[in-house]
Amino acid sequence: MKNLIFEEPEVDIPGYASSGLRYAWQSIRAPVIIPLLKLAVIICSIMSVMLFIERVGMALVILVVKVLRIKKYTKYKLDAMKQNIERNKRYPMVLIQIPMFNEKEVYKLSIGAVCGLSWPGDRLIVQVLDDSTNQVLRELVELECHKWIEKGVNVKYETRSNRNGYKAGALKEGLQKQYVEDCEFVAIFDADFQPDPDFLWKTIPYLLENPKLGLVQARWKFVNSEECMMTRLQEMSLDYHFSVEQEVGSSTYSFFGFNGTAGIWRIQAIKDAGGWKDRTTVEDMDLAVRASLKGWEFVFVGDVKVKNELPSTFKAYRYQQHRWSCGPANLLKKMTKEILFCKRVSLLKRLHLIYAFFFVRKIIAHWVTFFFYCIVIPACVVVPEVSLTKKVAIYIPATITILNAVSTPRSVHLLVLWILFENVMSLHRTKAAIIGLLEANRVNEWVVTEKLGNTMKQRNNARPSTSRSPWFRITERIHPLEIIVGMYMLHCAIYDLLFGRDHFYLYLLLQAGAFFTMGFGIVGTIVPN
């Protein structure tokens, strides 16, 4: 491993600094900096190999699945089950839950789409769980519900006097209503999700055919992916999640997580798992893990797509990524012992859940991206005694990147921008994962992802707000950590340009520019306050 990573140094430190600083640097360079950096390179190289093996393994599985056409959901006799339901007129009772919180831009879209589902009206209950703190908005949502009630849809408008448990608390209390006792299945849609009218016909037959099936997860379809460059880059990452991670987990009968929306559960599976819990910010993943440990099976149906909205403001996206990165790390800490000692599922599945799903994908993936590509590699430029081989610094990350990009062919030309964007976001995700593992002060921070509906129309029609000073709005967009890392990478780039013998400065300059761009908030849709 040592011979693979390190090469003998040939470059000495130039005397460009003042004598005092130079002396201090030289005094700690050999005994402290170089050994620590070599250790960091070894650790990051190991993490890179772990991530590489995981990604290549999933790529091979998905290749076999596509070539042999053995997707799990294609094994079900969907058409025969549909005909059987219609012939016998035995429609299961279905509950639809729409949790929302101050969703003024999208509440009409979601309620309208759910109320338009083609399922017998007497076998369907639409439950709008409104935790809004804006009283005027509550009245508007309630009015929208009454409009659909007048049209014959069984809509239940539910509110709470508090937000205990946030989304998990709302869903839990919703299932405790007396009218839910007759329901066999529950479908969940966040406020910006708009299912097609035939959604239930494309999902419920799976649950009816297989009594061991606890969850049917549909894919997301993004209605605003063309909104801005940030939404295009998000689409690349999420397409990989659905077309590879979810599909591999489903087709190999291993674990994959519930995405919190656009899925339909067997209510009995939720009860067996212990119901909704609010101990982390990923209540959906928490429920899925516990249900899986109880022996319930899941299926991902990639052919069923539900329209939804990507966060198009950088502020909203940062909050979402904090929740998505902090929650899994915190859940791993809370559930490792429970997973290891669960006797109901096989040891192989338990180890896969802890190692592959949680440790590699939810922690290692963030850490290696930030520490290796944004800290260690630039440091090796300034400390040439620690050199990297191309296998570690170039070939492995290039392979991982290409495997990700294949999922979104139309955006291959944005590959360089996607790499720069993901590297910057890795700082935020790494920090969130560490907070989750240490259960620090922001571990349970829950900020609902802002939805803008038709953002472009709103941006064109809105007038600038005078409620805040322009200076306050500018400082609100500045992110000091990103700027500091950008300055560090810029320094390393200049050093490499002046004294280096390779071309790392090309990457470092581009990456520094990306850190500055996002550090000053010059990314995403800018909506007037």
Here the tokens at position 257 are: 């997580």
Q: What whole-number distance in Å separates Cα of residue 488 and Cα of residue 481?
A: 11
Contacts of 244 (CB under 8 A, 6+ apart): 58, 59, 62, 403, 407
Nearest CA among 417, 507, 429 for reference residue 230: 417
Quickly tell me which residue has 């802890």 as its tokens. 354
Nearest CA among 215, 200, 241, 247 for reference residue 74: 247
Here the tokens at position 455 are: 């953002």
Backbone angles phi, psi at 215, to 5 degrees: -145, 135
359-395 burial, b at 16+ Cβ within 10 Å, e below that, comes to bbbbbbbbbbbbbbbbbbbbbbbbbbbbbbeeebbee
Nearest CA among 120, 128, 119 for reference residue 146: 128
Q: What whole-number distance in Å separates Cα of residue 183 and Cα of residue 359?
A: 37
- Check if the beta carbon of residue 314 is closer than 8 Å to that of residue 524: yes
Nearest CA among 33, 166, 191, 36 for reference residue 98: 191
DSSP per-residue string spanning 36-104: HHHHHHHHHHHHHHHHHHHHHHHHHHHHHHHHHT--GGGGS-HHHHHHHHHHHT-PPPEEEEEEESS-T
- Check if the beta carbon of residue 407 is closer than 8 Å to that of residue 243: yes
Pairing relationship of beta strands 213-222 and 263-266 according to DSSP bridges: antiparallel
Q: What whole-number distance in Å separates Cα of residue 130 and Cα of residue 38?
A: 54
The residues carrying an active-site annotation are 131, 284
- Check if the beta carbon of residue 157 is closer than 8 Å to that of residue 141: yes
Q: What whole-number distance in Å separates Cα of residue 451 and Cα of residue 462?
A: 16
Q: How many angstroms separate the first and last alpha carbons of the chain?
A: 54
| Number of C-beta neighbours around residue 139 at 10 A | 11
Here the tokens at position 367 are: 């850490």
